[in-house]
Structure 1
Amino acid sequence: MGSTDRNGNLGGVFIDVELKKTFGLFDALNIGIGAIIGAGIFVVTGIAAGLAGPALLLSLLIGAGISAFTALSFAELASFIPKEGGGYEFAHELVSPFAGFIAGWLWLLSNVVVGAVVSLGFASYLALFIPLPVNVVAGLACLAITLINYLGGRELGSINNALVVLKLLILAFFVAFGIGAVKPENFSPFMPNGELGVMKGAAIIFFAYSGFARITLISEEVKNPRKIIPLAIILALGISTVIYMLVSFTAIGLVGYEELAVSGSPLADAARSESNTASFLISIGALAATLSVLLTTLLGVSRVSFAMARNRDLPQFFMKLHPKHSVPYNAILVFGLMMTIFAVFTDLTRAVAISNFASLLYYAIANYAALRLEKPVFPRVVPVLGLISCVLLLFFLARDAWIIGSIALLAGIMYYYSVKFR
């Protein structure tokens, strides 16, 4: 790569390469739901219940409200700038090329690690049926997802649609099966850890909602994106919130928040209290959920790296499209391999810390970009509240998250300027 042009694009050239439009509203909506309802409802729900108690239901509403501000900002930005790359493109065009690069860097950092973590969740549930080494299975899952993404948009949309439908059917079964067995005494005391516990629970649950942003990453592959992208985001967030509330209410009512808090598979354990068959079906749902999130995670990472390469912020190697499948195959292969390596060797605690830090900063930048729109559809208070909420949630993270995240951010800044002044 060479020097930057007057607009700050590394290499001085913007290359106009477009992707095929293959996704409709149903596909975009399923990508959003598939990204949101994943590891969160099957794993993080238990952690949040331990923090908030039965008041997890309030944490869910708070988390949904905070997510809604950022979701509306993303919906508005996507309608004005329907380009592949999501927050990266928004910040690049509305703030500065440097801000765009940082947003893209944070997104790649967060989601490569998230892909590894989710694959480990998939492997853990699979281990309930087939006792194989979790890290090895997680690595193989990443390789399989890489192949699926390599096959292209239409195949990816069909596979993801099937996984989302399966997952929602099983969650509907869980609610229908368990809600009649809910024990009222499991909701008392309702707020055992006070308001602080509720807020900590909301901070955890926020990350269970954050998948809505992935819809904007495939904007160029969506038919009529100005209409479909905002609608898909709002619908995905609303549907996911209703599902989270129903499932969490049922799970707490079946076994109580204490048991959920210490379980690695809270929904399966809640269902097991009434039926082993129901627990088996919930475990199948967990496999579908984690697989669908892994599927859309690599989709998003490959599309952001494609957009960054098109703007000369990453090597042109990542921009090459497959002659048959019309997907950025080099990006898919490279980042799929990175996810695989992380899945085999990752330290989960540090991985989650890096992901959380990067995600919140990424969303903060996107909200700031929404403030730069000259003729916004929504009131200015929407991105302002989104920005403030993201920054405040950063202070709920442990010190390790700040240290590791800051080092990773500094590495990105050094890369940007080392290429800019080469």
Structure 2
Amino acid sequence: MSLRERVTRKEDLSRYLDQDQHFEKTLGSSDLIAMGVGAVIGTGIFILPGTVAAVHSGPGIVLSFVLAAIVCSTAAMCYAEFSSALPIAGSAYSFGNVIFGEGTGWFLGWSLILEYMLAVAAVSTGFASYFNSFIAGFNLHIPQAFNGPFDPAHGTYFNLVAVLIVWFIFWLLSRGVSTSMKINNLMVVIKIAIIILFLLVGAFYIKPSNWTPFAPFGSKGIFTGASLVFFAYLGFDCVSAAAAEVKQPEKNMPRGIIGTLVICTVLYMLVSIVLTGMVKYTKLNVGNPVAFALQLVHQNWAAGVISIGAMLGMFTMMVSMIYSASRLIYSIGRDGLFPKFLGKINDKNHLPQHSMLVVTIIISLTGGMLSLDQLTNLVNIGTLMAFTFVSAGIIPLRKRKDIPNENGFKVPFYPVLPIISVLLCILMLTQLSKETWLMFLIWLVLGIVIYFGYGIKHSQLAQKDPVSQNGASKKAE
């Protein structure tokens, strides 16, 4: 078999379904929506509506969020169809293996590792900052040595709170999907309640005059704002990682993904409307615009509650991302591209315990020891790469006669909408900096070395008879 044939070998969906049947199917659409909202709504909802309005969009920021949601919705519908047709663990990685072949699947999996790992590590340090500010109100302080990344010159050696919160989430997820999702769902409800509290309190202080001019920077400002707030929606794709553990995935997966996007869009719009109505947009270019607005109207108690909401937002985001990352690593181990012990499911609690442990170790070390300020843009590029290929994959998916999806969700306006989604994702990729692209290329080279040095030799597909594999590939086409 030539190198090209080995890289383009397509995985058999039936093997994935057989391997993933060891998961317990306990999740419904409400669990998926809570997971999605938990991942998407973080501290950004308390920051972006203010800062982007001040610099780019003015009160028209509400339209920026609508435009960004429209762009995201195209990719979301493509994810919904894939998750409905292929109810397997691994999200875009597994989709890519089945539709495009092992090489593309590895590229998507390697990109998603970047998204999940860096996102959680970065958010864990943000959580630590908020937590330290919160306990400082009670005259409690973490010793400086344990309050920052490894930087002996400034007296810090590791970020204790960032490490502990990641290990606490590992413990929580190890209790079982049902238990951890109940706690996650409760925290998402509390987080949304805090956002609603801001909306109710802020509504009494709205001055309609603050909404004029509505678009002080013109339509260009609204579109620029849309390109910036687009990244506030990233994270809904982690819902698709749960497909193997969902009851009636053909119905619940689309509801979870699309429901997440709808709820998040409404919340972002409402916060934008109230915030720019309370305070003139020109004053909102601060680090904590929502708390700032509440302090301006002498509602300091509510500003304190917002800090709790921010911590809950970061906590639920980390739960969703660590959960998704563990399923991704499990899927790659299941296929032999990583050591096979990572693809094992614990018979006792039906969880990929090994992959969860490895994910936790890597994230806690990264968040606890490194400064991630310059790396967080890599989260965006990893996500957009996955969006692009999933959107493009809808066309060959529809042509596969061996993957029935009669009762599942289908992207409307096929094939126009998937093509539009691909073009929009490419447009967003062009907005990223040269530095981000350079770091991504370095990450990609590392992935190529691992794949050709280890993965391609140990993959499950490589263990099959080449003749039968060629036949399977032809059958799939």
TM range (shorter): over 0.9
Unaligned runs of at least 5 residues, structure 2: 137-141, 149-158, 400-409, 459-477
Unaligned runs of at least 5 residues, structure 1: none
- 1:65 is matched with which residue? 70
- Paired residue total: 416
2:431 is equivalent to residue 408 of structure 1 = no
Q: Return 101-110 or 180-189, whichever deviates more.
A: 180-189
Counterpart-to-counterpart distance in 2, 1:181 and 1:17: 52
After superposition, the Cα gap between the structure-2 partners of 1:228 and 1:136, relative to the gap in structure 1 and judged at 3 Å, is same
- 2:472 is matched with which residue? none
CA-to-aligned-CA distance 1:273-314 (integer Å, 9 cap, x gap) = 220111111111111111000110100000111111112222
- 2:214 is matched with which residue? 190
Which of residues 391, 395, 402 in structure 2 aligns to 1:371?
A: 395
- 1:399 is matched with which residue? 434
- Residue type of the partner of 2:338? L
- 1:148 is matched with which residue? 172
Counterpart-to-counterpart distance in 1, 2:375 and 2:290: 24
Which of residues 19, 29, 32 in structure 2 aligns to 1:25?
A: 29
After superposition, the Cα gap between the structure-2 partners of 1:338 and 1:46, relative to the gap in structure 1 and judged at 3 Å, is farther
Counterpart-to-counterpart distance in 2, 1:336 and 1:380: 40
Counterpart-to-counterpart distance in 1, 2:338 and 2:269: 41
Counterpart-to-counterpart distance in 2, 1:103 and 1:290: 25
- Residue type of the partner of 1:41? I
Counterpart-to-counterpart distance in 2, 1:256 and 1:330: 51
- 1:37 is matched with which residue? 41
Counterpart-to-counterpart distance in 1, 2:304 and 2:95: 43
Report how far residue 151 of structure 1 moved: 1.9
Counterpart-to-counterpart distance in 1, 2:170 and 2:49: 28
Counterpart-to-counterpart distance in 2, 1:257 and 1:343: 34
Which of residues 8, 11, 16 in structure 1 aligns to 2:19?
A: 16
Which of residues 276, 289, 311 in structure 1 aligns to 2:335?
A: 311
Report how far residue 24 of structure 1 moved: 1.3
The answer (yes or no) to whether the contact 1:52–1:191 under 8 Å persists in 2 is yes
- 1:273 is matched with which residue? 296
After superposition, the Cα gap between the structure-2 partners of 1:35 and 1:308, relative to the gap in structure 1 and judged at 3 Å, is same
Q: Return 411-420 or 252-261, whichever deviates more.
A: 252-261
After superposition, the Cα gap between the structure-2 partners of 1:90 and 1:247, relative to the gap in structure 1 and judged at 3 Å, is same
After superposition, the Cα gap between the structure-2 partners of 1:90 and 1:5, relative to the gap in structure 1 and judged at 3 Å, is closer
- Residue type of the partner of 1:181? Y
Report how far residue 8 of structure 1 moved: 6.2
Report how far residue 6 of structure 1 moved: 8.4
Counterpart-to-counterpart distance in 2, 1:144 and 1:259: 38
CA-to-aligned-CA distance 1:96-129 (integer Å, 9 cap, x gap) = 2111111111111111000011122222222221
* % identical equivalent positions: 32
- 1:237 is matched with which residue? 261
Q: What RMSD, in angstroms, separates the aligned Cα atoms of the two structures?
A: 2.2
- Residue type of the partner of 2:115? S
- Residue type of the partner of 2:126? G
2:382 is equivalent to residue 358 of structure 1 = yes
After superposition, the Cα gap between the structure-2 partners of 1:388 and 1:225, relative to the gap in structure 1 and judged at 3 Å, is same
Counterpart-to-counterpart distance in 2, 1:118 and 1:349: 11
Counterpart-to-counterpart distance in 1, 2:234 and 2:312: 18
- TM-score of the superposed pair, with normalisation by structure 2: 0.82
The answer (yes or no) to whether the contact 1:116–1:346 under 8 Å persists in 2 is no
Report how far residue 144 of structure 1 moved: 1.3
The structure that has the greater radius of gyration is 2
Counterpart-to-counterpart distance in 1, 2:203 and 2:9: 57
Counterpart-to-counterpart distance in 2, 1:145 and 1:217: 17
CA-to-aligned-CA distance 1:316-337 (integer Å, 9 cap, x gap) = 1211223322211111111112
- 1:257 is matched with which residue? 281
Which of residues 99, 102, 113 in structure 1 aligns to 2:104?
A: 99
After superposition, the Cα gap between the structure-2 partners of 1:5 and 1:285, relative to the gap in structure 1 and judged at 3 Å, is closer
Find the residue that maps to 1:323 and give its secondary structure: coil
- 1:48 is matched with which residue? 52
